[in-house]
Structure 1
């Protein structure tokens, strides 16, 4: 059995997203913890493009440490936006993510479903770190249409699946409580 170190380790230790300097540091730490396989993320446009720009140096570090990046996760909330233009902009970023994933020869590229467009009263989930068991209070816009939101997510996931397949990758989704896709049965 192989166990990999997920990116949550980096987020928990260095914040969200970790700086690029901390990304280099945390990869070495993951190796020091005994992991040979790790996950890597690029969060939204700015961080994703930093990872893209430094992909050669990051790969060189991983190769030197004997680390294999098995999954790349581009965190692109716009992929589930109700605004098609915003979704399309995220699709462009996803193509950069595919290049990163292929550069690292990952097995998978991951998507997330994100929270629906709710107005949170007080705290909202996934802003800094994950707090299990925490309850949130929300307001739902009376004009919100679930089917329209679901269709936007399906359109993006279809696009990402097709792009991943064309690049020789498997597309996977991490279901999380409170998001559009909360479990594998949803």
Structure 2
């Protein structure tokens, strides 16, 4: 039977088990998960947080990560400024980015979610408000959500993946994981 892990990836952790990038050691999945044979199904940038799925099943990994299977990925996104309906509609229609047109996203302004504090905290500026959005996409381009919010004039301050397809964070705290039925 396939193993499937739900992991709440903390801010600053690489979505891989080893760090080949710098002389200074950075936190990796191996700092949190000590199970042989499981690998990430998809990725989250080092400066993004939230749900990362890991499995020991190559076919399941491909179905989760491959954009042609169109699993929705839902993010809680804190942005700079207060996007109006025009910005939200642009996200919903799809945007032209440097690597082409994005597929339409689901996008809505939401109340601030009840999340764990981030370490380090998001910068706060009294003169510039911020707003939380829930954005769901079915693609997985590099830094896509961040590039989309920047394209509508509202840079991302914090990005937390809430769910992938039918799997969600629920009450997992940063650095925690649990095994579920695949």
TM-score by length of 1: 0.29
Structure possessing the higher relative contact order (Cα contacts under 8 Å, 6 or more residues apart): 2
Larger helix proportion of the pair: 1
